[in-house]
Amino acid sequence: MVGTGAGGRGPRPRRPVAAGLSQAALAERTRLRQRAIARLDALPSGLTAEPLIRLYDLMLLTRALDDRQAILSRQGRQGIHLSARGHEASGAGCGLALDPERDILVPSHRSLATVLAVGVTPEDILLQCLSKATDPAGGGRSMPNHYAHARRRVLSMSSPIGTQIPHAVGAALASRVRGESAVTLVHFGDGAASKADVHEGLNMAAVHHLPVIFVCENNGWSISVPVAKQMAVRSVARRAAGYGMPGQQVDGTDPVAVFRAVSAAAERARRGDGPTLIESRVVRLAPHSTDDDERRYRPPDERARAARRDPLPRFAQRLKQWGLLDEPADAAHWEQAKQRVAAALAFAEAAADPTPELVPPDHSGG
Ligand SMILES: Cc1ncc(C[n+]2csc(CCOP(=O)(O)OP(=O)(O)O)c2C)c(N)n1
Ligand SMILES: [Mg+2]
């Protein structure tokens, strides 16, 4: 009823006209404001609500699982944990751009969101963390965060950083020889980018136009070594020109930007146009591992800056602007992720431990 003049009240008083503005200028200001609001509300072109919510759910599931793993590690029930905090948007964007039925993923130790995106389940992850006999990555014999899943086409990563690059190039070459249309995506960090394996792999993939997507998730740190002491150039993506392939830098805290860049690279690779190097600028929102005290080397203001780029609240904010999320729905999505992890943990806890016969003779101490 306010402002209608009903109920004996007078007409609503007009808001004062902004000083010095003509009616035409005011109308123009209103038009610009409405256009800005419409732009905020518009979904990114080519994307419907469904994949955007899937990206967010994946990011939440990754964070919830990651947090649980950190607790398990502190409880002494899981070994070391290398957190994916800050890499969720990049990982989800990479994973949803792949075709899980035919593409190959060669992960790094921070690829949790990507392995979940291509169909590895939280149960699979926790079976590995708790070293259970049915752990699909290695029957309970490999370290946490060393992702592998044959059925999901996730190659086993090995601990020496950067060595997964030649493995990925070999997998892509094998796809080519078999006449398959698979694309291989490999993750590595800014520290690994200094390794000779990376140079060899990029060069070989470019020379042979292999269908590889190299994704360097640059979080600015290699344990305690800052990126400025790792490389003399400011961008890993720029190195692509030296190999003869396209290079692109993306905001790795924006899952849509990563999804688009990886989708374009996958199309290129499937067309037979060869590899792409993508540098995804992420943040490390946790110490390097549960064995690391980053306060000894990481300046507090740098940690605070990274925390402000946390991809989860940033993406939630955008979903709200697009009208796809509100506070109660956000709380429900979080709850769903936490319950999913709780159910997976209960399943993994109840699973059988490996029997001594499964231990290879050279590890049995005999
Ligand atoms: C060849 C080799 N050297 C050192 C290590 C120890 N190490 C494990 S992770 C890591 C840091 C890797 O940094 P980066 O590649 O930037 O990945 P991030 O951990 O930051 O995601 C190091 C040095 C290793 N695993 N392999
Ligand atoms: Mg790093």
pLDDT in tens, 160-179: 999 999 999 999 999 999 99
Q: Please check whether residue 365 lies inside any domain of the structure.
A: no
User: What are the residues whose beta carbons fall under 8 Å from the beta carbon of 352, sequence distance 6 or more?
Assistant: 132, 133, 134
CB distance 84 to 110 below 8 Å? yes
Q: What integer pLDDT is reported at residue 20 of this predicted model?
A: 64
Q: Please check whether residue 2 lies inside any domain of the structure.
A: no
Q: What integer pLDDT is reported at residue 7 of this predicted model?
A: 37
Q: Please check whether residue 21 lies inside any domain of the structure.
A: no
Mutate to test the pocket of ligand 1, among 81, 114, 142, 161 (most ligand atoms within 8 A of CB): 161
Q: Please check whether residue 305 lies inside any domain of the structure.
A: yes
Closest ligand 1 atom to 163 CA: 1
Q: Tell me the CA–centroid distance for residue 225 and ligand 1, in Å.
A: 10
Does residue 289 line the site of ligand 1, with CB under 6 A?
no
Closest ligand 1 atom to 284 CA: 20
User: What are the residues whose beta carbons fall under 8 Å from the beta carbon of 123, sequence distance 6 or more?
Assistant: 344, 347, 348
pTM of the complete model: 0.88
Distances (CA, A) of 53 to 92, 120, 322: 11, 19, 11
Name the closest-CA residue to atom 1, ligand 1.
160
Q: What integer pLDDT is reported at residue 34 of this predicted model?
A: 61
- Residue 331's domain comprises 51-350
Q: What integer pLDDT is reported at residue 84 of this predicted model?
A: 98
Q: Please check whether residue 3 lies inside any domain of the structure.
A: no
Name the closest-CA residue to atom 20, ligand 1.
222
Number of domains the chain contains: 1
Q: What integer pLDDT is reported at residue 10 of this predicted model?
A: 44
Q: Tell me the CA–centroid distance for residue 28 and ligand 1, in Å.
A: 55
Whole-angstrom Cα distance, residue 183 to residue 106? Answer: 11
Q: Tell me the CA–centroid distance for residue 27 and ligand 1, in Å.
A: 57
Q: Please check whether residue 38 lies inside any domain of the structure.
A: no
Which pair of structure tokens corresponds to residue 145?
């965060």
Whole-angstrom Cα distance, residue 242 to residue 205? Answer: 13
Q: Please check whether residue 75 lies inside any domain of the structure.
A: yes
Tokens 């067309």, residue located: 271
Q: Please check whether residue 33 lies inside any domain of the structure.
A: no
Q: What are phi and psi of 187, to 5 degrees?
A: -100, 145
Q: What integer pLDDT is reported at residue 360 of this predicted model?
A: 64
Q: What integer pLDDT is reported at residue 90 of this predicted model?
A: 98
The strand pair at 247-251 and 276-281 is best described as: parallel
> Could you tell me which of 210, 159, 204, 213 has the C-alpha nearest to residue 186?
213
Q: What integer pLDDT is reported at residue 365 of this predicted model?
A: 45
Q: Beta-strand (E) ranges in 65-128?
A: 104-106
Mutate to test the pocket of ligand 1, among 187, 222, 285 (most ligand atoms within 8 A of CB): 222
> Could you tell me which of 168, 192, 194, 162 has the C-alpha nearest to residue 182?
168
Q: Tell me the CA–centroid distance for residue 74 and ligand 1, in Å.
A: 21
Q: Which residues of the chain fall below pLDDT 70?
A: 1-20, 30, 32-43, 45, 358-366
User: What are the residues whose beta carbons fall under 8 Å from the beta carbon of 191, sequence distance 6 or more?
Assistant: 161, 221, 222, 223, 225, 230
Q: Tell me the CA–centroid distance for residue 288 and ligand 1, in Å.
A: 9
Q: Which amino acid appears at position 254 of this protein? A: D
Domain with 191 in it: what CATH number?
3.40.50.970
Of the listed ligands, the closest to the CA of 82 is: 1
CB distance 274 to 211 below 8 Å? yes
Other C-beta atoms lying within 10 Å of the C-beta of residue 291: 11
Does residue 145 line the site of ligand 1, with CB under 6 A?
no
Q: Which residues are catalytic?
A: 284, 288, 297
Tokens 């905090």, residue located: 85
Tokens 């309970």, residue located: 140
Whole-angstrom Cα distance, residue 343 to residue 318? Answer: 30
Does residue 85 line the site of ligand 1, with CB under 6 A?
no
Closest ligand 1 atom to 160 CA: 26
Of the listed ligands, the closest to the CA of 187 is: 1
Does residue 223 line the site of ligand 1, with CB under 6 A?
yes
Q: Tell me the CA–centroid distance for residue 221 and ligand 2, in Å.
A: 4
Q: What integer pLDDT is reported at residue 2 of this predicted model?
A: 31
**For the residues of 120-156, what is the DSSP string, one character each?**
--HHHHHHHHTT-TT-TTTTT-S-TT---BTTTTBPP
